[in-house]
Amino acid sequence: MENYDVVVIGGGPAGLAAAAAAKRNGIERILIVERDQRLGGILNQCIHNGFGLHTFKEELTGPEYAQRFIDEIKALKIAYLLNTMVMDINEDKVITIMNADIGVVEISARALILAMGCRERPRGALNIPGYRPAGIFTAGTAQRLVNIEGYMPGREVVILGSGDIGLIMARRLTLEGAHVNVVCEIMAYSGGLKRNIVQCLNDFDIPLKLSHTVIDIKGRERIEGITIAEVDENRKPIKGSEEFYPCDTLLLSVGLIPENELSSKMNVTIDSITNGPIVSESFETNIDGVFACGNVLHVHDLVDYVSEESAAAGKNAAQFVKGLFVHRDEKQVIDVTAREGIAYTVPRTIQLNRMEDEQTIRFRVRDVYRDHYLSVYFDDQQVLHQKKKLMTPGEMEQVKIEKAKLQEHQGCKTIWIKVEKE
């Protein structure tokens, strides 16, 4: 069995940033395990710009952003395995991997970083009547077909769901000569960034129908058209609101699911809201020396935030290996709790004696809130009351907590985050 100080599962933006940070913090024996044939993850197929404004202070495409980190990994001489599947991980951080060159082998890690990313929710997770004809794709699959394989999935397109990938593909397919009839969203708000609605739909006169969903698919061999309908407050179709759209392609942009099957098998505690591990301020899970970062932790809207969180996870993994990491002390733990209007928080706990001078807490709201206040409480004492013009579930929010202020509130047990009207 080969032994490593840090093993990173996943060679996407999270894994690359975490591995680089671990190396910069003095760790030599690092291995990245990636199942694809190249490093970079999903960014390799995201050829649109808009990446890197926070991290590099310039606008990059997805492949350009990934290449910055790939170049760093190579310059730091960090080892990586491609075309390699992780079959199993146990609580002792023994990892079973497999590829065509080495067969099935076991490796061990003193610290483990989970950076497996996320996958798209497929059609099977949706209750849409009709046959199973050709021409139905997830938005990410269509993106790979167009941008990497050079294959157009269709010419007359309908998109169900308004996540960022779906919005971006509406523009991409239009630029390639397809006609995008409509984007429909079952919720009363879009699941994507405001800038993507403007740049990908409004700029190309593509209609967005909120509170609408697909209720029927016509076609047996190939999709011939779909019927959409408006839904009520219980998301049930309203009779008489049906509209039929002839099309040869239906794209599904209906949510992302963190890839945590391996995490669950090794008994990492999973958050029922995010479907990602529950982590502390150090991005450590409930298992000592096992850290999580990127979209495997919670689905991000900006890759810059992925890189920021992953670098922190890599640094803390390095501290763990070097014996400098402050271990768990329940007396120092402060719970971070989502209250009214907040879906979840990352992290879920802060251990005061290993907290940095400033801690970023990221979260999403449950609904659309206009002219509401974002409030933070240390136990029952309000410490932040900030008016926000607009908060939507599609855009991640964040607050920063100063360690000095938290220390002033001696004995604080819970940080509450909530949305308030006034």
Residues of the chain with pLDDT under 70: none
pTM beyond 0.85:
yes
Q: What pLDDT, on the 0 to 100 scale, is given for residue 295?
A: 97
Q: What's the angle, vertex CA 396, arms to CA 394 and CA 397, rounded to 5? A: 130
Q: In Å, what is the CA distance from 27 to each residue of 305, 316, 323, 354, 355?
A: 23, 11, 12, 20, 21
Q: What pLDDT, on the 0 to 100 scale, is given for residue 129?
A: 81
Q: What pLDDT, on the 0 to 100 scale, is given for residue 45?
A: 97
Helices (H) and strands (E) in the chain, counts: 8, 27
Contact 329, 354 (CB under 8 A): no
**CA torsion angle 359 274 304 340 (round to 10):** -50
Q: What pLDDT, on the 0 to 100 scale, is given for residue 320?
A: 97
Q: What pLDDT, on the 0 to 100 scale, is given for residue 1?
A: 84
Q: What pLDDT, on the 0 to 100 scale, is given for residue 328?
A: 84
Contact 114, 268 (CB under 8 A): yes
